[in-house]
Structure 1
Amino acid sequence: MKSHYLAILLLVSSSASGQESAHVAPVHAQTPEDESNSFLLPLGYKMQLVLSEPEIAEPVVTAFDGDGRMFVAEMRTYMQDIDGKGEKDETSRISLHISTKGDGNYDKHTVFADHLKLPRMILPLGKGQLLVNQSDTSDIELFTDTNDDGVADKREIWFKGGPRGGNMEHQPSGLIWALDNGIYTTYNTYRLRWTPQGPEKEDISPNGGQWGLNQDNNGNLYFVNASGEQGPNTFQVPPVYGNFNPRRQFADGFRELFPAAGVRDFQGGPGRVREPQGTLNGFTSGAGIEVYRGDQLPAELLGDVFFGEPVGRLVRRAKVALDGTLKQLSNPYQSKKSEFLRSTDLCFRPVNLTNAPDGTLYITDMYRGIIQEASWVNEGSYLRKVVQQYQLDQIIGRGRIWRLVHESSKPTAQPRMYEETSSQLVEHLGHPNGWWRDTAQRLLIIRQDFSVVPLLENMVRDDANPFARLHALWTLQGLNRLKPELVREKMADDDPRLRANAIRVCESLYRSGDTSFQADIVRLSKDPDPSVVLQSLLTAKYLAWPGHMDFITPVVVNSKDPGMDELGSYLILPPDRDNHEFNDQERAFLKKGAAIFSTLCASCHGTDAKEVEVAGVKGAMIAPPLAGSATINGHPNGGIDVLLKGIQGPIGGKTYEGLMISMADNDDEWIASVLSYVRTHFGNSASWISPADVASERKRLANRKIPWTESELIESLPQWVPSDQMTVTASDAPEGAGLAIDGKMGSRYSTNRFMRPGMWFGIELKQPTRISGVMLDTTPSSNDFPRGYRLEVSTDGNDWSEISKVTGNQGPVTDIQFAPTLAKKIRITQLGSSDSFYWSIHELHVSEARD
């Protein structure tokens, strides 16, 4: 072990100057035995090898079914070379591993499902049943092994979500059946609910999560964000109530990392390096979050949050402290500048953690050289040079599953839930290991065996174990067998966790028509426990009964709970002030864009689109602001081109730590919706972008393979003629014509009478100019667009040439593109009529042609 560790130190020090040497020792894969010697853990803890290659390769998710059998999703095509060639080939799989003696040694292995495209999410249901989601689709399939041979022989669509695009990092993960019987994923703004008739889809708020999702003993979900370098997020309240991320949810220094080894293979580049060690200094790839809820590790870990940092080769443990209702995470090893689990093996890649039936914690180790996807390792990038230098791309096709144990851990019985009666499953609802409670609840609901309802009701009323009462209550909810009088009894339970969850449970009864619960919810806003008060407010806002804000606001304002100072603002903020400008169809389009922005873009650009500081690096920002951005507010093609091809290098003379990768895997509507949202919010007032606009640019740029630099992007875009180089007039109300070029979307030129053929708007340029387009933006007055138009140009005002003529309705943005033409004067003539709307122009732009 000493010689191995010395080699790592020599490897690290060889690049400590900040300039990578051209001659360094390549990184080599270690055997599982050697890797086990690389782990640095607190006294009494150790890592036991459960599985390794050749039984598995490129593992990313581990899950256990009701009999304790272990499923492993294997992304066998992930980054098999530095360019990710063949990554979407359908040769990945889900393997099944069984301990035939029930002793935790997995000695029987089968391929449960083969020929998959990078499987991302798995959830065991009944015996032989596994829900599976693959990459590039929102469909969830049900794989079934009907003859119990460990191989699925039946495959069907369980939830039809449709195709989706996006980089590998920017697609959902999770598939967690939570305490509230919702099935949650990251990224998606909906949850699913299992029913005998099939899944039901319910809208929820964006969650900001990326890879990994878990819950605590109270059913509160924990997401984790990688690209925004945030670590855990959206853990204050369940996402059905909103995306709450108050500033005080982390203790000082929480985002600083203390790895044991590194070779500067960080996407953020030199700014993310702690000198002279060459290790990662802050979050960059948080993944696989799990709240420890088992019974075979020391009690001091119960309720602690664990997640991997695969770029840092470590696992972070976070303590959860309460300041009233506000949760705050801290690193218990901060003062020692250390972490719970670190490795000196540079191929240790902990991408997921799982509470296991045996009461321990399993760690899914993808064990590989390069962990970043191809978009972050493109030609010319900082990271590509480091990867090639250390030959990290050569270490592929491996993977390990580890079991975290303690010297006090003891063997436990393997579950056999599929063989048990429903009454026996009910007994597990009070098990000290949360995995048993969750699995028993899920199986009871899937069985739909109503004979156990009296047992469940008795457990809710009389069991001394609060976890048994809690899970029994939610099991009744999942079986649709809740009685209002029982829920009201639990609203008076001695344990505040039961009172708070009784409020949540009553939501389903309220939405089914029993609005009498409104009085109970209001009454519980005076509960002595702040968590119960908070839940009463969350439920009131979720149910949104008439006048609910009149109830919520004074409770928030008068609260003495220190956590309510921040959490309360999320409850009483007014709705988005910009939404009044759009009709219902447009709002639906923008809602999609808002969800994409909140879930994906905000982590790097900020929830207010005004930048996010890099954790641990004062003054360094992850990505440029979008509020007020010239690219966002300028020619529509600017934002489209960046999303289609990405951009690298300095922006506005400033270097950012993040990298804007291509989003071209997403469809045209996805790109158009998020760009339209950003261009019409955060103080921006640019034009709407349509899917057709994106499709046109996608076709034009089909042969471009590399990201833009800022100078290349600017050079490629048509430039708008500055407003001070134009004078404007009009046939009707000419005194207001200048409002069309004042740079303010909130003002507008209007004919002040209904549209009639022959109305015209004229533009004169200071000098003859080669132009290639004219855009009339009427988005805020979305029905005031011209009903057909003719565009003419002239160099002298005498001889006019017709450039474009269109009849019929156009839409809020009239974007007229044409071959470069020399012009000094431009005239747009209205061809149609409207007896309901004026002709208005909020902003007009003339594009100067690029030679």
Structure 2
Amino acid sequence: MSYRFYLLAAALWLTACHDEKKDPAGNRPDSLAIREKYATSPVLDAKTAITHMEVEKGLEVQLVASEPLVVVPVAMTFDEKGRMWVVEMTGYMPDTSGTGEDAPNGKVVILEDTNQDGVADKRTVFLDSLVLPRAVCLVENGVLLAEPPKLWFIERQGDKAGKRTLVDNKYTEGGNVEHQPNGLLRAMDNWIYNAKSDKRYRKSGNKWLKEDTHFRGQWGITQDNYGRLYYNNNSENVLGDYFLPGLGVHNPDQKRVAGYDEKIVPDTRVYSARANTGVNRGYMKNTLDDSLRLRNMTAACGPLVYRGAQLGKEYDNNVFVAEPSANLVKRNILQDSGYIVKGKQAYAHKEFLASTDERFRPVSLYDGPDGAMYVLDMYRGIIQHKTYLTPYLKKEIRSRNLTNPINCGRIYRIAPAGSKLKPVVIENHPQQLLALLDHSNGWVRDKAQQLIVDNHYTSLTPALKERLRHTDSVKGAIHALWTLEGLGTLQYADIQLLLQQNNPYLQAEAFAALPSVITPVNAKEVLAAVAALRENVFLAPYVARLLHTFPPFLGKEVNTLEMELAGRYANDPFVADAIISHAAGKEDELLKQLKEWKTDTTQVLYKHLEKVREDIKHRRMASMNASLEKTYPRGAILFKTVCQTCHGADGEGIQSLAPPLNQSGVVTGDKRRLTAIVLYGLTGPVEVNGKVYKAPEISGDMPGIGSNDEFSDADIAEVLSFIRGAWNNHAAKVTEKDIQDVRKQYKGRQKSFTMEELK
């Protein structure tokens, strides 16, 4: 077959996959010309790759490191010397089958610029022989490292690894490479938060603390100048929290808490600089536009709230998002009311940074000690994990030889054009660190706070308390507050200063820090002060979120305050969910009280409470599935690896990702229909329990696994039988023959189904 004939066949095949009747672009020759233009995907050296990038006017992309100094970088952090601690996920997808993915070839390396020219020139291997490492964080004298399924703390002996301490042996329980916890963001409140996780960590003396928190995101997590967290998932631009991260997570049966996991920027449109035929769903109608460019995000990740103060004031507090499938970095502008945060894309029909190089794969973004923005580029062809790799994408990979090479990687900085930024030199001296809490660069402020806490510089306590009195500089005052909290020297009198301010940001920080200073001695005084602020509409959600922090002997007073909040703010979703959070284990009592009041059943508090009570029933049913795991052992494993990451362990779905499997007619109905969905995927709206789920409430697409050689038909039959019998589901099992029959029925099919087709 001639090469041109192959291109024509490929173009016609793409057209057929878009629509069996006609090409949505309506112009086949143009599609062919575009495919010819991008028929090859040359491997570019790092400096040449920069010439293929277009960045916002007035800025430039500068090379910091490239192979062989760095290989497949996926995460990093800076130390106080300005050195980069980089996680290399060398084993990720060596080919389309993931051959050798479990090889222990991952590393944590230290990259250093020894001659101060802005380019790294020294590589030190801190730790090697790792299997798919994914996150790193510097704490005290060591390194917190995520290597699935475990989270380790590794002491530093100079630049070499020392003693290991196991922090969590189930850090990444279940899931696959694309759907496992990561991030390890050391946030302003001194806790370490993660994406794709509902756990947070903190070192306290020689012990590691682990607590529940809100479930957040998929890959990457960042914070703003007030310590609020932002994240996303592959098909969402920016998600985030309106409130400080440690509040409102007291009730384990409450799956959704208003004010958390909110859609900050719902617009997911992307404007690529090149055709993006090499995406997993490129064959599907409306995935690509007429020029074969991606329409919407499919691999959004690595968000960053830019706080570096060097790019220009217009960029401060913007949220940047990496999109490796579209070879770009997006800019979003936040609109912050001090209560609710919303945002919008910075541009229409263009991007902050876009490349015509298909192998440019930005996956993580960071502020640096020099105030620049740092971009980690895996620089490779394959980014889709094997679990969801479609036959279409496999062909794309083969046609342009995207499998090789797999030993590249780049780190770039984005800085003002022509600039030679210098990192802030941080001397580990108490007085200098204190001064740096007011630095314009958010990374510097964060690092100064962390060093004070890590070195237990309690001698700074008087100066930090004095700094709280000067609230004209809000950022410095907030860092002083949390530095005191991290040192364990914060007192209620310090927080009172901020509660009395008229600045809502300072008051919010004070509320978030209150749990660390409440004692049996001052609890009654604190409760009275908190209750006095209940009529402030802005502060009422914070008041409600603190109810569970008071000791039991104040139960009567706390209940009185709770009922007053319930009566006054029953239609406020933030207060309502905070009240339900406090009512953990006592939901029936709260409902009884509402009924005695003859509460309107249409009010938010009533409806949300009923939803939680229903979830409790489902969770009880989930605990009865132990026998199912024995009946379908392989199915249970596949559920945890493939299904649970989006649909939840209890089958009740996960906000922004996927709808429920529990009591879903799609699951318990015609098993041929369910089999077809799992084999080939589902796109568009789906109705579950009388509710229609569609984007942007959930991801609009569920990938099929029928083309994954890792799963046999017997395996797929087991996992379908497992979910059809789990929780409140009681449907007949699926056999291997059932799977084979559906494959025969739809032999040659590539594209996902819609529910309309399956009816």
Q: How would you bin the TM-score normalised by the shorter chain?
A: 0.7 to 0.9
1:258 equivalent to 2:271? Answer yes
Aligned to 1:462, the other structure's residue is in SS state: coil
Change (3 A) 1:512 1:49: farther
Kindly provide the CA deviation profile for residues 658-679 of structure 1, in whole angstroms up to 9, marking residues without a partner as x: 31448989xx9xx999977995
Aligned to 2:285, the other structure's residue is in SS state: helix
Name the structure 2 match of 1:539: 546
Change (3 A) 1:252 1:427: closer
1:244-393 correspondence to structure 2 within 5 Å: 244=257, 254-269=267-282, 270-322=284-336, 325-334=339-348, 337-377=349-389, 381-393=391-403
Kindly provide the CA deviation profile for residues 145-179 of structure 1, in whole angstroms up to 9, marking residues without a partner as x: x1x3x333444434444673321011011101111
Kindly provide the CA deviation profile for residues 411-440 of structure 1, in whole angstroms up to 9, marking residues without a partner as x: 3344234xx222322221111111111111
1:512-661 correspondence to structure 2 within 5 Å: 514-516=522-524, 517-527=526-536, 530=538, 532-540=539-547, 545-547=558-560, 549-557=562-570, 573-574=608-609, 576-578=612-614, 581=617, 600-602=645-647, 626=661, 628-630=663-665, 632-633=667-668, 647-649=679-681, 657-661=701-705
Kindly provide the CA deviation profile for residues 488-536 of structure 1, in whole angstroms up to 9, marking residues without a partner as x: 11111243211111111112223777433222222233347x3x44433
* Residue type of the alignment partner of 2:229: L
Kindly provide the CA deviation profile for residues 211-234 of structure 1, in whole angstroms up to 9, marking residues without a partner as x: 1001111000112111xx122224
Q: Which has the larger radius of gyration?
A: 1
Whether the aligned pair in 2 keeps the contact of 1:13 and 1:276 (CA below 8 Å) is: no
Kindly provide the CA deviation profile for residues 462-492 of structure 1, in whole angstroms up to 9, marking residues without a partner as x: 3642212111111111122121111111111
Aligned to 1:55, the other structure's residue is in SS state: coil
* Residue type of the alignment partner of 1:117: V
TM-score in terms of structure 2 length: 0.75
Change (3 A) 1:430 1:104: same
Aligned to 2:230, the other structure's residue is in SS state: strand
In structure 2, C-alpha distance between the alignment counterparts of 1:511 and 1:714, rounded to whole Å: 67
Whether the aligned pair in 1 keeps the contact of 2:201 and 2:211 (CA below 8 Å) is: yes
In structure 2, C-alpha distance between the alignment counterparts of 1:332 and 1:116, rounded to whole Å: 39
1:166 equivalent to 2:175? Answer yes
In structure 2, C-alpha distance between the alignment counterparts of 1:678 and 1:303, rounded to whole Å: 48
Change (3 A) 1:398 1:527: same
Whether the aligned pair in 2 keeps the contact of 1:60 and 1:366 (CA below 8 Å) is: yes
* Residue type of the alignment partner of 1:221: L
In structure 2, C-alpha distance between the alignment counterparts of 1:678 and 1:66, rounded to whole Å: 54
Whether the aligned pair in 1 keeps the contact of 2:110 and 2:124 (CA below 8 Å) is: yes
Whether the aligned pair in 2 keeps the contact of 1:604 and 1:658 (CA below 8 Å) is: no
Whether the aligned pair in 1 keeps the contact of 2:545 and 2:578 (CA below 8 Å) is: no
Change (3 A) 1:558 1:596: farther
1:735-750 correspondence to structure 2 within 5 Å: none
1:747-762 correspondence to structure 2 within 5 Å: none
1:833-848 correspondence to structure 2 within 5 Å: none
- Pairwise CA distance, 1:307: 1.1
Pick from 64, 71, 95 the counterpart of residue 50 of structure 1.
Answer: 64
Kindly provide the CA deviation profile for residues 563-606 of structure 1, in whole angstroms up to 9, marking residues without a partner as x: 9999999877216222564897966989xx99999983259999
Change (3 A) 1:585 1:298: same
Aligned to 2:232, the other structure's residue is in SS state: strand
* Residue type of the alignment partner of 1:142: I
In structure 1, C-alpha distance between the alignment counterparts of 2:308 and 2:378, rounded to whole Å: 23
1:236 equivalent to 2:281? Answer no
TM-score in terms of structure 1 length: 0.67
* Residue type of the alignment partner of 1:537: A
1:686 equivalent to 2:717? Answer no
1:70-149 correspondence to structure 2 within 5 Å: 70-126=84-140, 129-134=142-147, 136-144=148-156, 146=157, 148=158
Query: How many residues of Structure 1 are paired with residues of Structure 2 in the alignment?
Result: 652
In structure 1, C-alpha distance between the alignment counterparts of 2:379 and 2:619, rounded to whole Å: 51
In structure 2, C-alpha distance between the alignment counterparts of 1:677 and 1:492, rounded to whole Å: 56
Whether the aligned pair in 2 keeps the contact of 1:296 and 1:408 (CA below 8 Å) is: no
- Pairwise CA distance, 1:375: 1.5
Name the structure 2 match of 1:211: 219
Aligned to 2:374, the other structure's residue is in SS state: strand
Name the structure 2 match of 1:438: 446
1:461-480 correspondence to structure 2 within 5 Å: 461-462=469-470, 464-480=472-488
In structure 2, C-alpha distance between the alignment counterparts of 1:513 and 1:350, rounded to whole Å: 52
In structure 2, C-alpha distance between the alignment counterparts of 1:361 and 1:672, rounded to whole Å: 44
Aligned to 1:206, the other structure's residue is in SS state: strand
Change (3 A) 1:581 1:154: closer
* Residue type of the alignment partner of 2:742: S
Kindly provide the CA deviation profile for residues 32-66 of structure 1, in whole angstroms up to 9, marking residues without a partner as x: 12211111222101100000011111111121012
In structure 2, C-alpha distance between the alignment counterparts of 1:131 and 1:623, rounded to whole Å: 31
Change (3 A) 1:637 1:193: farther
Farther off after superposition, 255-264 or 42-51: 255-264
In structure 1, C-alpha distance between the alignment counterparts of 2:725 and 2:443, rounded to whole Å: 42
Change (3 A) 1:551 1:422: farther
- Pairwise CA distance, 1:713: 11
Whether the aligned pair in 1 keeps the contact of 2:373 and 2:413 (CA below 8 Å) is: yes
Name the structure 2 match of 1:775: none
Change (3 A) 1:607 1:298: farther
Name the structure 2 match of 1:421: 429
Whether the aligned pair in 1 keeps the contact of 2:239 and 2:264 (CA below 8 Å) is: no
1:507 equivalent to 2:515? Answer yes
Farther off after superposition, 533-542 or 186-195: 533-542
* Residue type of the alignment partner of 2:243: V
Aligned to 1:316, the other structure's residue is in SS state: strand
Structure number with greater CO (CA < 8 Å, separation at least 6) is 2
In structure 2, C-alpha distance between the alignment counterparts of 1:318 and 1:603, rounded to whole Å: 29
Change (3 A) 1:163 1:175: closer
In structure 2, C-alpha distance between the alignment counterparts of 1:605 and 1:588, rounded to whole Å: 11
In structure 1, C-alpha distance between the alignment counterparts of 2:423 and 2:619, rounded to whole Å: 60
Change (3 A) 1:90 1:447: same
1:29 equivalent to 2:43? Answer yes
Aligned to 2:91, the other structure's residue is in SS state: coil
- Pairwise CA distance, 1:187: 2.5
In structure 1, C-alpha distance between the alignment counterparts of 2:261 and 2:204, rounded to whole Å: 39
Change (3 A) 1:636 1:190: farther
Whether the aligned pair in 2 keeps the contact of 1:623 and 1:659 (CA below 8 Å) is: no
- Pairwise CA distance, 1:389: 2.0
% identity of equivalent residues: 27
Whether the aligned pair in 2 keeps the contact of 1:59 and 1:73 (CA below 8 Å) is: yes
Aligned to 2:123, the other structure's residue is in SS state: strand
